[in-house]
Each structure stands twice: as structure tokens, then as C-alpha cells.
Amino acid sequence: MRIVSGIKPTGRPHLGNYLGAMREHIALQNEGHECLYFVADYHALTTVRNAAELKEYRRGVCLDYLALGLDPNKVTFFFQSDVPQHAELAWILNCVAPHGLLERAHAWKDAVAKGNREMNVGLFTYPVLMAADILIYNANQVPVGQDQKQHVEIARDIAEKFNHLFGETFVLPEPRIEKAVATIVGTDGQKMSKSYGNTISIFDDEAVIKKQIMGIKTASIDLKDPMPLENDLILSLYEQFSSSQELEALKANYQAGGFGYGKAKQALLEKVLSFFAEARARRKTLETSTKLDQIMEMGAQKARTLAESTMQLVYQKTGLN
């Protein structure tokens, strides 16, 4: 089975990215699948307008993935823009993708509704480039969080349309979503997202992570009263990083009363810091590594070979050869 996924370098990855996608990406490298993961820097261009910033984010995402345990010898790991065939195929798919299909994309509709972003054409055709990312490698599965489900479905629709028009060419991909972590909530109760400023970081300074966790919105409950267990972000995040006994102990504290959200947040902070301690140390070492370019070029070469072979077929099918 071939697995493909990407992450957009528009900021520093957060717990939503990790639990919803990166953790699964890394786990899949040990399950005998062929995995391709990339830093979606072409996609980031729809919002990042500063070269120095983009360079820093691109490098940052690489370091984060490697520090979290991604093994570039087991997976093909690369920058999207190192394989320009993604953009080439995106143009060809643009000529097939129905306008109405893109108008129905949630991310596009949200951007229109908010009216607070620069509405460039790249934002509109974003799912077409994403379809190219996926179809160019004939991915069977695309591990993502819930917010990207519709984009993968659009990729599938575009593949079907292309196959119908030009004959069997692309494998139809499926989203692969871990139910329990499909949508990680942010500190303000909305979906955790870089663009909402409600994230909990993995690799920022401890003081930053502390401030984020202490800022989690909680119910106003008298200190002596029990705290409800339902829909509690502290508990649901704590669950991801602790054993079932530890979770039960924290729940017991919630129910006993006289505990308070301050202590619960402190417990979560300690868990998050200890869970990522090794990765944080590894990232520090990687920061000074001179091997990063070599690692990314190795991945790009493998990806280009696969992409070139798909493009040959696409040229043939469309008459571009």
C-alpha cells in the first residue's frame, strides 16, 4: 500500500498536527507500507509572503518531523517544490476539475465567509494542487486530520473525472483518519489551528507551552465542587500522553472536588513536557546538523523518479507527448 501526506509550513507544528497526523505518519513507517511525506511549501505560498519566514518554517517542519522520529531511510521525505511535477500536474488537473466542486470546499467557503484573508486564486485551486500531490504518486491512503477529509475526497473526484475523460490513469485515494484524534480542539474551544492562535506547541520554550496550557478555557466552577469529565480538553489531551491508570487518577481528582483547573493544567503540562523531552533534545542536536540538505535531496530524488513516470503516462493519455 502506498501512503502519501503533507504538512504546510506556515508556522510551527502543534499538538493538533502531531496527534491528528504526524504521529500516525511516523507510526506507519514501521508497518511495511511505502510512505511518502512532504513539506507542502507550494501550498504555504498562498499565505506566507516573506522569503525568510518561509525558509524558516520549511526547515522547521523538517526538523520537527525528524526530531519526532521520522526516519528518512524508511520513508521518502522531501520538499514539495523539489518535485515541480506537482505543479505541472496541478495545471493539467485544473483543466479537468469542475469549478463547482472547488466552490463547495469548506476551507474555501470559510475563507470567503471570514473575508479577512487575501483571496488569491491559489487559495481557490488549493485542492487541485493537493490532488496532484496525491495522484502523482498513486496513493492508496492519505493519513490526515478531519479538516483535510474533504480535500482528499476532491482529489478522488478529480481522479475519477480524469480517468473517465482520458482512460484509466490514477489510483483513487482514500482519506485515512484516526477517529479519536480527528479534530483536536485548541485552547479556546475551536479546532486547534495556527490561524486561530489557539495552539499548544511541541518545540517552543517551556514558558510558551506553559502559557498556552494555562490559557486553556475552562468552565467557571467553585473550587470545592467536582469538575465535569465531559468535553474537557485537559482530560482529552492528557489521555493521549498517559497510561489508563494515570488518566483514571486525574479523573478521580476531578470528581473528588477541591482540585481545580490550575492543578489539572499543571498535570497536563508536565505530561506534555515529559512526553516530548526526548524529541525536544533531539531537535536541538538536529538544528546544528549539516546533513539536512542531503536528507531532503535524497527524498526528492526518489519522489521525482516516481513523479516523472506518472507524468509520462499523463502526457500519453492527454496527447502532450
Residue numbers of the site for ligand TYM (CB under 6 A)? 4-8, 16-17, 20-21, 40, 43, 130, 133-134, 142, 144-145, 147-148, 151, 183-184, 191-193
Residue with Cβ nearer ligand TYM (17 or 187): 17
The least CB distance from residue 131 to ligand TYM, in Å, is 8
Residue nearest to ligand TYM (CB): 20
Instruction: Give whichever of 190 and 316 is closer to ligand TYM, judged by the CB atom.
Output: 190
Residue count of the chain: 321
Q: Which is nearer to ligand TYM, 131 or 264 (CB)?
A: 131
The neighbouring-strand residues paired with 38 are 6, 78
| Least spacing, CB of residue 39 vs ligand TYM, in Å | 9
Give, to the nearest 10 degrees, the angle between helix 292-318 and helix 85-94.
30
Closer Cβ to ligand TYM, 7 or 28, answer by number: 7
The candidate with the shortest Cα–Cα distance to 40, out of 150, 152, 133, 170, is 133
Three-state secondary structure call for residue 149 = helix
DSSP per-residue codes, 282-296: HHHHHHT-S-HHHHH
Please report which residue ranges of the chain form alpha helices under DSSP H: 15-17, 23-28, 41-44, 51-68, 85-94, 99-103, 106-114, 121-135, 149-166, 206-214, 233-241, 244-256, 261-275, 277-287, 292-318
Smallest distance from ligand TYM to CB 6, Å: 3
Of the pair 99, 179, the CB lying nearest ligand TYM is at 179
List the grid coordinates of 171. Answer: 489510483
Q: How far is the CB of 168 from ligand TYM (least distance, A)?
A: 22
Least CB distance from residue 200 to ligand TYM, whole Å?
A: 10
